[in-house]
Amino acid sequence: MKFIDNIFKTAFDNGQTALTEAQCYAVFDRIGLTVPKWQKFDKTAENFDSIISSFGGDKVVLKILSSKIIHKTEAGGVKIVLKTDAKAAFEELMEKFPNAEGVLAVEFINYTPFALGSELMLGARADESFGPLVVLGFGGSGAEFLTKNLKKGVSPSIAAAADLQPASFIAENFAAKYSQGLVRGGKRHGDINKLTKWVSAFSSLINYFSDGAGNAWTIEEMEINPLAACGGEWFALDGVIRFRQSKNVTRSFPSSKAIESVVRPSTIGVIGVSENKVNMGRIILNNIAKAGMSKENTVVIKEGVTEIDGVKCAPSFKDMPFKLDTLVVTVPAAFVPGVIKEAAASGKVNAIVLISGAIGEKEGSADLKKEVEDIVIKGREINPDFALNGGNSLGVVSNPSKVNTLFIPFEKLDPPLGVNEKLAPCAFISQSGAFVISILSKHSGMKPVYCVTVGNQLDITVADYAAYAVEDKDVKVLLLYIEGFKPGDGAGLLRTIRRAKELKKKVVIYKAGRTGAGQKAVMGHTASIAGDYFITESLFNQEGALVASNFTDFEFLAQMCLANADSDTNNKSVFMISNAGFETSGMADNIGEGSNISVVYPNEKLSLEMKDILKQNKLDAIVDIRNPFDVTPMASDEVYFNLSKAALKSGQYGALVFSMLPLSPAVKTLKVENPDVISKLGALKRETNLPVAVVVSAGEKFDYYRSLALQEGLVVFKEADKAINILSQFFK
């Protein structure tokens, strides 16, 4: 790599931030990749005619050499001419671009342009969150058009270079499949093994020249478009490499003990509590006590007062009767640095939960943010387990410790304390506190092992908590709301998602900042660094996370995972039943190309069993056996259940959508009717350990019926088509 290192140094000394195309070809050639025959000419054009005549074919490509002009074709800096006309074309280019470094003459590769698969775009880029990335998609002049108009996620493909398996990456790549003729009537354009060599070389190069790799230079972006197929070979017909000096990306990470101090504190303190009025600190203090944390293990840091609400006060950190796992800080932003500095110096505080805002998310607070971050890092020199959660945090709830530091009054939110045996234990980690309490308010059955509102991520990040939670034996589902990443967080989350898959745990993610407007919004919320959403979504999906595209999907995916964390999901055949024709039609309409659900009709044995159920209830004359199954409004809830039970216990189906329109007079769904079908359904789900989605497509009059399903740990939808959509995502 010394040769390439020297190319970067020469270019940098020349004031370049991008290599010329000639320098790009030199790099590609050095790492064993195929490039056309080429020669750089300065204004003197020495030996021009003899060199051009040595090129194969009767044509030559002339390109202006300039590190400042990236899109040379659009600028008129590219000419394809007969070799006999090359000298005149050279002179025209030099006249048009007098400040250019020269002209690059390139052997003309006689490939088939505009044929899908004959031109690819191979790229690599440095990403602060995910590290080096490799990109492969359709190339040529139509690349942008194809990318915009193809279904999202089809092309290009993106992968983290650090973990790239080139052969697998290419095997799943849509554009590469076209290049191999793996479509009806397709033609094989280039050798797959040679394409694999290109991808592998790009991956190695971007990994080597990256921040943190110990080299002087970092490749910010590298691209070949087109990478053209000709005679089985792949040729770089264009090249872009942007580079810079490498940066020091070292970060001081919180220890596992520090994170444990936040989510499982045995002692806790609060600073910023008023003895005269109910301020934020006072609400938090009372919420801690109401949650069950012993007042003997709680302390208020306040001078001149001996006790507040039965909790003893200490005038300073050094005077505290015990060391704190967690200190909740609610003082105004201007006082935060002093408080944190004193807490760190005492050596008697592990983790700080910083409620105070306006530190990073508010314009003009960057210096305050930097001061707090520096204090935390210095504090670790005294106590390696010193760390900070927040600022702008809403607080933390820990079920193991019986702690609730949310500053929401009990009258407005029942904290998620206790255990719901019918739902899997989860960790709910969110940058937005409002997002957490909104969902908890709507889903009172959700009892996370711990909820952490991370806020601005001045120190501990969502990725840090997720890495801890995935190894927590008490946690089976991770629910993550992310607005932005610190350097390396994306790569860290990929490792966590991969680890979750190994441990058969579920990860549900909502990533804010999906659009330009969304990125601006989260920047103003929690001072987030919003990365490219397409990259984030693509990489998380590849590793097996469930990435929600909207809040509603996040809630339903979370419920589906909590209700079915241990369910067998290998069988993706779903039995769908309804007493309303519009629902069976809607369910079928949502199982199309790209769905992860398969639809099969009941087999002969199951059909006979179902026919017998219909016959016993005198429905055989009006109902046909099918899937989705329309039992008509004449079917009772008993018929409904018996058909569903037969389907789930047959072994033919891996899930059930139970959509019983509750307005039918034949079914018991009102409280006065004492409905029991839901309790039977809950028992059936637990017996078979298969996902069951309940649809109640009716108004608030049937909220009692809905509540029964929720109490059974079933996932409840208001629309049948939504149930199908969520099941498909769950079965991904």
pLDDT digits (tens, 9 = 90+) for 224-238: 999 998 988 999 998
The pLDDT value recorded for residue 434 is 97
Residue 50 pLDDT grade (very low, low, confident, very high; cuts 50, 70, 90): very high
Reading across the β-sheet that carries 692-695, which strands appear in turn?
629-630, 574-578, 655-659, 692-695, 715-717
Among 219, 245, 271, where does a domain finish?
245
Does residue 152 have a pLDDT over 90?
A: no
Same domain, 367 and 267: yes
Does residue 248 have a pLDDT over 90?
A: no
Same domain, 663 and 621: yes
- Return the amino acid letter for 676: D
Three state DSSP letters for 211-271: CCCCCCEEEEEEEEEEEEEECEEEEECCCEEEEEECCCCCCCCCCHHHHHHHHCCCCEEEE
d(CA 472, CA 476): 8
d(CA 537, CA 170): 19
d(CA 455, CA 275): 27
The pLDDT value recorded for residue 238 is 86
324, part of any domain = yes
Rg, C-alpha atoms of the chain: 31
Least confident of 25-34, 140-149, 515-524: 515-524
d(CA 141, CA 144): 7
8, part of any domain = no
Lookup: tokens for 490: 């994306």
**3-state class (DSSP) for residue 145:** helix
Same domain, 187 and 97: no
d(CA 694, CA 197): 50
Query: Nearest CA to 431 among 450, 448, 454, 452?
Result: 454
The pLDDT value recorded for residue 142 is 77
Annotate 540-556 with b (16+ C-beta within 10 A) or e (fewer): bebbebbbbeeeebbbb
The pLDDT value recorded for residue 516 is 55
Q: 453 with 396: CB under 8 angstroms?
A: yes
Strand pairing class (477-482; 506-511): parallel
In terms of pLDDT, which residue wins out, 362 or 525?
A: 362
Same domain, 499 and 634: no
Same domain, 236 and 263: no
* Residues facing residue 157 across a β-bridge: 136
**What percent of the chain has a predicted confidence (pLDDT) above 90?**
82
- Return the amino acid letter for 588: A
Ramachandran region of residue 683, left (φ > 0), alpha (ψ -120 to 50) or beta? alpha
d(CA 507, CA 480): 8
142, part of any domain = yes
**What percent of the chain has a predicted confidence (pLDDT) above 70?**
97
Query: Nearest CA to 127 among 385, 370, 454, 491?
Result: 491
Q: What is the pTM of this model?
A: 0.91
Q: What one-character-per-residue DSSP string does 165-209 give?
A: -HHHHHHT-HHHHHHBT-STT--B-B-HHHHHHHHHHHHHHHHHS
Does residue 363 have a pLDDT over 90?
A: no
The pLDDT value recorded for residue 495 is 97
Same domain, 103 and 134: no
Does residue 101 have a pLDDT over 90?
A: no
Q: 640 with 631: CB under 8 angstroms?
A: yes
The per-residue pLDDT of the chain, averaged, comes to 93
pLDDT digits (tens, 9 = 90+) for 580-621: 999 999 999 999 878 899 999 999 999 999 999 999 999 999
The pLDDT value recorded for residue 515 is 56
Lookup: tokens for 110: 């006689």
Residue 111 pLDDT grade (very low, low, confident, very high; cuts 50, 70, 90): confident
Same domain, 537 and 505: yes
Vertex 279: Cα angle to 277 and 282 (nearest 5): 90
Same domain, 579 and 551: no
477, part of any domain = yes
Among 79, 107, 135, where does a domain finish?
107
CATH number at residue 434: 3.40.50.261
Q: How many domains does the chain have?
A: 4
Q: Show Cβ contacts of residue 69 under 8 Å, excluding neighbours closer than 6 positions.
A: 75, 77, 97, 100
d(CA 717, CA 732): 19
Same domain, 237 and 293: no
Q: 698 with 583: CB under 8 angstroms?
A: no
Does residue 552 have a pLDDT over 90?
A: yes
11, part of any domain = no
Does residue 730 have a pLDDT over 90?
A: yes
Segment 420-427 mean pLDDT: 97
Same domain, 590 and 683: yes
* Residues facing residue 40 across a β-bridge: 104
Same domain, 558 and 642: no
Among 563, 595, 614, where does a domain finish?
563
Query: Nearest CA to 723 among 704, 684, 695?
Result: 695
For residue 637, the enclosing domain spans 574-730
2, part of any domain = no
pLDDT digits (tens, 9 = 90+) for 273-320: 999 999 999 999 999 999 999 999 999 999 999 999 999 999 999 999
Lookup: tokens for 300: 């208020």
pLDDT digits (tens, 9 = 90+) for 167-226: 999 999 888 888 887 776 677 788 899 999 999 999 999 999 999 999 999 999 999 999
d(CA 324, CA 278): 24
16, part of any domain = no
Ramachandran region of residue 57, left (φ > 0), alpha (ψ -120 to 50) or beta? left
Does residue 103 have a pLDDT over 60?
A: yes
Residue with tokens 């009537």, as numbered in its chain = 185
d(CA 264, CA 401): 5
Residue 144 pLDDT grade (very low, low, confident, very high; cuts 50, 70, 90): confident
Positive or negative, the Cα torsion across 56, 62, 65, 69? negative
Segment 702-706 mean pLDDT: 96
CATH number at residue 149: 3.30.470.20
The pLDDT value recorded for residue 114 is 72
Residue 528 pLDDT grade (very low, low, confident, very high; cuts 50, 70, 90): very low
**3-state class (DSSP) for residue 190:** strand
The pLDDT value recorded for residue 185 is 67
**3-state class (DSSP) for residue 427:** strand
| Phi, psi of 151, deg, nearest 5 | -55, 140
CATH number at residue 69: 3.30.1490.20
Does residue 154 have a pLDDT over 90?
A: no
251, part of any domain = no
Same domain, 482 and 604: no
Treating both helix axes as pointing N-terminal to C-terminal, what angle do 677-688 and 703-711 enclose, rounded to 10 degrees? 30
Residue 19 pLDDT grade (very low, low, confident, very high; cuts 50, 70, 90): very high
